[in-house]
Amino acid sequence: MSFSSLRLSFQSNVFLPIKPEPQQSNIIFNVHASAKTGSVVESRESDSSAGLSRIKSLSQVSGVLGSQWGDEGKGKLVDILAKNFDIVARCQGGANAGHMVYNSEGKKFSLHLVPSGILNEETMCVIGNGVVVHLPGLFQEIDGLESDGVSCQGRILVSDRAHLLFDFHQEVDGLREIELAKSFIGTTKRGIGPAYSSKVIRNGIRVSDLRHMDTFPEKLDALLSDASSRFEGFHYSPEMLRNQVEQYKRFAERLEPLITDTVHFMNDAISRKKKILVEGGQATMLDIDFGTYPFVTSSNPSAGGICAGLGIAPRAIGDLIGVVKAYTTRVGSGPFPTELLNKCGDLLRSVGHEFGTTTGRPRRCGWLDIVALKYCCQINGFSSLNLTKLDVLSSLPEIRLGVLYKQVDGTPLQSFPADLHVLEQVKVDYEVMPGWQCDISSIREYSELPKAARRYIERIEELVGVPIHYIGIGPGRDALIFK
């Protein structure tokens, strides 16, 4: 049968003009419509009131984590939730995290190191010990916020245990990618991997070292000399060292009011019943341990990274919200089972404005991968999900969910594979669901969404076993439906 003339019957015939799935895939032609799997239940109370009440009832320490390959829209949810929390904290990653948020006037802010709670003036923002901090970038970000009327004075704390990311780390990152040639990772070239490498081999420089400028030059010399011996393209000179030392003397003076023992600060805040929201960077599928290794980041953007990156106990953490797009994207290299290498993928990229906040690179696009999402839910124990960018699917006559991986011989896989050779060859079984083909961006009540949109949401809930409490239908602060 030709995919160019495929007709599928739901409640009425739907014509699909383009081939929507990768070459190695199967389609399950069933759309569940029972009360258990896909029916629409009308809410008897105001969806908004119920949602706002749910936000206020979130646990004292809650977290927002990515549940795909990043770029899910975590910053927007953190910004919305922040007004109900005293502290918003980053626990891992660095300036490779690009979180785009909008203020009440609709002005866009692109944040990379500063937590997304900064737009809420009553919120304290913490950069934890698990973050690698590029000071020039941090100060540039703070200056940009201040010039746009966002007060940062006395509202940002930086862990004295956090490691510094230097300009040379970024240069080395690029040299490493060139060295890998065809096996390149596709990093943001923000120096994240090299900075974490310095940390792990124990010659990194921490924020607290800025308080000891008598020993700082010696430590920086060791770092630069190591990079020079490792990469032929990296040229190190005594003049470079002198310039860097002078620059960081100025940085140290400016940073001093922000430097804090954030482990003590966070635990003291917990004992004083302060509400804390943890903002994850990147996402679980990029986790150094659980992601599609080696095409991953260099930290743990999953639940375990909260404890290690902030110094708080696991039992202190309550609700964890997983953020997931209504479809799937990833930037850079690596396996992507539900990727769409056709006009449908191009359409998602265009309508969804899928270009990296940090790099500007076009994102690869595909159908929502339920297998990967279930895996992320298992690892993190999400209490709820935030489904974002549902509006991007509004123009499609039908939508697909990747529900099962099969090996080349047709054997179903029972779990998400660690072996990339297996993952790159899997065949994906899809469930096909009708689209709604109307504008939903102005809807604010769940009950007012088209029936097909609600059916799509409820089918995802059933497949992964986690409720969807927040639904994004546009980029603005108010473009959110509480369910």
For residue 363, say whether it is annotated as part of any ligand binding site: yes
Residues paired with residue 387 on neighbouring β-strands, in sequence order = 324, 471
297 is in an annotated binding site: yes
Place of tokens 């089918």: 459
* Residue 325 counted as an annotated binding residue: no
| Residue 123 labelled as part of a binding site | no
63 is in an annotated binding site: no
389 marked as binding residue? yes
The verdict on whether residue 315 carries a ligand-binding annotation is no
The answer on whether 56 is annotated among ligand-binding residues is: no
469 is catalytic: no
Q: Is residue 202 a known part of a binding site?
A: yes
Q: Which of 134, 199, 427, 469 is catalytic?
A: 199
Return d(Cα 55, Cα 292) in angstroms, integer. 32
Instruction: Find out whether 73 is annotated in a ligand binding site.
Output: yes
Q: How many CB atoms lie within 10 A of CB 329?
A: 24
Q: How many CA atoms lie within 13 A of 465 on its CB side?
A: 8
Tell me if residue 199 is catalytic.
yes
The neighbour count for residue 2, using CB atoms within 10 Å, is 6
Tell me if 76 is assigned to a ligand binding site: yes
Residue 188 marked as a ligand binder: yes
Distance (Å, whole) CA 34 – CA 203: 59
Is 221 a known ligand-binding residue? no
Q: Which residue type is seen at 382?
A: F
Tokens describing residue 254: 């400016």
Q: List the catalytic residue out of 47, 79, 99, 173.
A: 99
Annotated ligand binding at 443? The verdict is no
What is the enclosing helix (H) or strand (E) of 141?
helix 135-147
Q: Is 75 annotated as a binding residue?
A: yes
192 in a known ligand binding site: no
Beta bridge partners of 5: none
Q: Order across the sheet with 480-482: list the strands.
A: 259-260, 156-159, 124-127, 87-90, 276-279, 61-66, 320-325, 384-388, 468-472, 480-482
474 is in an annotated binding site: yes
Query: What 3-state DSSP class applies to 69?
Result: coil
Q: Which of 71, 79, 287, 429 is flagged as catalytic?
A: 71
What phi and psi values does residue 71 have, to the nearest 5 degrees? 65, 30
Q: How far apart are CA 206 and CA 164, in angstroms?
A: 6
Q: Cβ(306)–Cβ(281) under 8 Å?
A: no
Instruction: Tell whether 148 is in a known binding site.
Output: no
98 is in an annotated binding site: yes
Q: Is 99 annotated as a binding residue?
A: yes
Contact partners, residue 377, CB within 8 Å, separation at least 6: 67, 322, 464, 465, 466
First and final C-alpha spacing in the chain: 40
In this structure, are strands 61-66 and 328-330 parallel, antiparallel, or unpaired? unpaired
> Which residues are CB-contacts of 304 (< 8 A; sequence separation ≥ 6)?
none
List residues forming the annotated binding site: 70-76, 96-99, 188, 202, 282, 297, 357-363, 389-391, 472-474
- Residues of each annotated binding site for substrate: 357-363
Which residues carry a binding-site annotation for IMP?
71-74, 96-99, 188, 202, 282, 297, 361
- Annotated binding residues for GTP: 70-76, 363, 389-391, 472-474
Q: Which residues are catalytic?
A: 71, 99, 199
User: Which residues are part of a known binding site for Mg(2+)?
Assistant: 71, 98
